[in-house]
Amino acid sequence: MLKVSSINQYYRESHTLWDLSLDVPKGSVTCLMGRNGVGKTTLLKCIMGLESITDGSIQFKDTEISKLNAEKRAIHKIGYVPQGREIFSQLTVEDNLNTGLVANNSKQLPSIIFELFPVLKEMLHRRGGDLSGGQQQQLALGRALAIEPELLILDEPTEGIQPNIVREIGDIIKKLNQELGLTVLLVEQKLPFARRVASNFCILEKGRDVANGSINELDDQLIDKYLKV
Ligand SMILES: Nc1ncnc2c1ncn2[C@@H]1O[C@H](COP(=O)(O)OP(=O)(O)O)[C@@H](O)[C@H]1O
Ligand SMILES: [Mg+2]
């Protein structure tokens, strides 16, 4: 569904992604892994059109998207939950959700958002900043679902979230994948979470892809070499 081939990316003169390739098969939950600073967030931003690449290609459902701006990519049905969630704390829950519609042509929020996250309906007129961390993550997920994406991209969705809510978020991702057929690409540092939720993995090291496979191939040797801090 998503195929990144040999991309290079620079922050000014700093070469950050090196001939990086990533394959996200349709129907998979692919977990992007690697230590802090290896380029996981940068890769997701390149996919979303928030950072530009110097060469290589990014194909979504056989369409080359690397030359399209970020709004156009959303139209191609890629939903994105950024690291740190980026909720507008002064806006209401409703207005936060509506910002997710901007890139879309439809005017109405899909009802699935409130079916998955009933708490958002209850808190529709509260300010985003008044929500707990777990509720804000649900809001960020709901906002990404406003365009009814086919591919959902999540950058560390469990970062700074209480353990009991982490499990809930894992259940929601599995449900979106298994029941609604969404393909998911997520960055996740927690191994038990990755093993429970993901079907595939890809590991980055210093801006390069160094290992990938199905999640049951993620063995201790790879973990020691690339993931242990
Ligand atoms: N806006 C930026 N400008 C310059 N350097 C950046 C910027 N964002 C990230 N970097 C650098 O790029 C590298 C990769 O960062 P990042 O993609 O955030 O890694 P990860 O998400 O894997 O922790 C790091 O060395 C980081 O300091
Ligand atoms: Mg990151």
Residue 72: band (very low, low, confident or very high) from pLDDT cuts 50, 70, 90: confident
Q: Does the pLDDT of residue 75 top 80, yes or no?
A: no
Name the residue with tokens 């290896």: 38
Rounded CA-CA distance 77/151 in Å is 7
Neighbours of 175 (CB within 10 A): 12
Mutate-to-test residue for ligand 1 from 7, 9, 11, highest number of ligand atoms within 8 A of CB: 11
Between the alpha carbon of residue 63 and those of residues 1, 76, 154, the distances in Å are 10, 9, 21
Distance 102 CA to ligand 1 centre (A): 28
3-state DSSP assignment of residue 226: helix
Question: What is the chain's mean pLDDT, rounded?
Answer: 94
| Number of compact structural domains in the chain | 1
* SS3 of the chain: helix, strand, coil, percent, to 5: 35, 30, 35
pLDDT tens column, 95-116:
999 998 875 566 789 999 999 9
User: Per the structure block, which two tokens stand in for 117?
Assistant: 């996250």
Domain holding 178, by residue range, is 2-227
Antiparallel, parallel or unpaired: β 14-24 and 2-11: antiparallel
User: Per the structure block, which two tokens stand in for 64?
Assistant: 């080359």
Residue 183 contacts by C-beta under 8 Å, 6 or more apart in sequence?
A: 1, 2, 24, 25, 26, 27, 28, 29, 30, 150, 151, 152, 177
Residue 178: band (very low, low, confident or very high) from pLDDT cuts 50, 70, 90: very high
Rounded CA-CA distance 180/55 in Å is 34
pLDDT tens column, 4-29:
999 999 999 999 999 999 999 999 99
**Residue of the CA atom closest to atom 2 of ligand 1:** 11
Task: Answer whether 160's CB lies under 8 Å from 132's CB.
Answer: no
Residue 73: band (very low, low, confident or very high) from pLDDT cuts 50, 70, 90: confident
CATH number of the domain bearing residue 205: 3.40.50.300
Ligand found nearest the CA of 45: 1
Question: CA end-to-end span of the chain, whole Å?
Answer: 32
216 lines ligand 1 (CB under 6 A): no
229 lines ligand 1 (CB under 6 A): no
Ligand 1: nearest atom to the Cα of 51: 1
Distance 107 CA to ligand 2 centre (A): 32
pTM for this one? 0.95
45 lines ligand 1 (CB under 6 A): no
Residue 78 contacts by C-beta under 8 Å, 6 or more apart in sequence?
A: 47, 48, 60, 149, 150, 151, 152, 153
Question: Percent of the chain beyond pLDDT 70?
Answer: 98
User: Per the structure block, which two tokens stand in for 28?
Assistant: 């998979």
Average pLDDT rounded to a whole number, residues 47-68: 95
Q: pLDDT value at position 101? A: 86
Ion ligand 2 contact residues with beta carbon within 5 A: 40-41, 83
Q: Higher confidence at residue 105 or residue 228?
A: 228
Ligand 1: nearest atom to the Cα of 38: 22
Ligand 1: nearest atom to the Cα of 45: 17
Name the residue with tokens 């890769």: 43
